[in-house]
């Protein structure tokens, strides 16, 4: 019964990605050139003015990876999606995370997505690449690939399935951060991975100079967010999952500040 439910969820997710890809393909000629003329200089200044670790303030969108019905990556839709976010003034993007179905992509497909990301988004807005893996060496290798394609940072989820101890998590992240060419953001999503990173562990990891933030996705995030924020040093940043407020049934108390030059963009790509 459980496997059947998972199969139905996968089918629904794939259908959603296919539908999104079809919608985006219809608007491949998005207003990217006009956007570059309007706020290209402002966006370049914003990218350059981020903190020393290269990570931005504001709202970073966890990007899906559009796919065809056969599961292959829809490159045209992906390019259109990047251009749409640039046109709408998005502060930054998180690519190949769990939302992007990175675990279902082959190494060649990952590299192809990174290539498209470099061509369409790098240098126009900050980009963070998801590089989480059970094996630390695999996470390090993916981080090196992300750096080679111009990313600003990496998002590393806790190792799923193996359920490491808190000391094991510290060793895992410290080893990756020691060998990472990019700033590292922790990612705690216990409902998906089976392991929960405690505020004490986050506090210990926040002392590492290459670990600069934490993304949290939990059913009751507010108290834990406060504890994480207290544990983290002043230079680190906490990222909230966009749907965290939905679990509480309330919207965030205040919106992220909009970067100068960005404008509201409510219109979606044409169908």
Catalytic residue ranges? 187, 215
Contact between residue 114 and residue 145 where contact means Cβ atoms under 8 Å apart = yes
Count of Cβ atoms closer than 10 Å to residue 238 Cβ = 17
Alpha helices in 149-220 (DSSP H): 166-178, 190-193, 199-205
Residue pair 66/24 in contact by the 8 Å Cβ criterion: yes
d(CA 125, CA 259): 11
Phi, psi torsion values for 171, nearest 5 degrees: -65, -40
DSSP 8-state secondary structure symbol assigned to residue 132:
-
Q: Nearest-CA neighbor of 126 among 47, 184, 181?
A: 47
Distance CA 53, CA 42 (A): 20
Euclidean distance between CA atoms 257 and 234, whole angstroms = 19
């Amino acid at each position: 019964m459980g496997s059947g439910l998972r199969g139905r969820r996968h089918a629904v997710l794939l259908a959603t990605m296919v539908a999104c890809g079809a919608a985006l393909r219809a608007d491949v000629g998005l207003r990217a050139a006009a956007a570059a003329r309007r706020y290209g200089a402002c966006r370049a200044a914003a990218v350059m003015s981020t903190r020393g670790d290269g990570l931005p303030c504001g709202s970073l969108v966890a990007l899906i990876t559009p796919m065809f019905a056969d599961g292959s990556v829809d490159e045209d839709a992906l390019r259109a999606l990047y251009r749409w976010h640039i046109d709408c003034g998005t502060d930054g993007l998180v690519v190949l995370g769990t939302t992007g179905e990175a675990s279902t992509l082959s190494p060649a497909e990952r590299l192809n997505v990174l290539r498209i990301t470099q061509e369409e988004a790098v240098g126009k807005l900050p980009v963070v690449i998801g590089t989480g893996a059970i094996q630390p060496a695999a996470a390090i290798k993916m981080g090196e690939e992300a750096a080679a394609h111009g990313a600003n940072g990496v998002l590393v989820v806790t190792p799923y399935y193996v359920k490491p101890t808190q000391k094991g998590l510290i060793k895992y992240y410290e080893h990756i951060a020691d060998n990472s060419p990019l700033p590292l953001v922790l990612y705690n999503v216990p409902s998906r991975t089976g392991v929960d990173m405690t505020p004490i562990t986050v506090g210990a990891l926040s002392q590492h100079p290459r670990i600069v933030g934490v993304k949290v996705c939990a059913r009751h995030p507010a108290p834990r967010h406060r504890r994480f924020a207290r544990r983290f040093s002043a230079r680190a940043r906490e990222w909230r999952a966009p749907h965290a407020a939905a679990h509480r049934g309330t919207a965030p108390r205040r919106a992220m500040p909009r970067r100068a030059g960005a404008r509201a963009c409510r219109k979606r790509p044409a169908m």
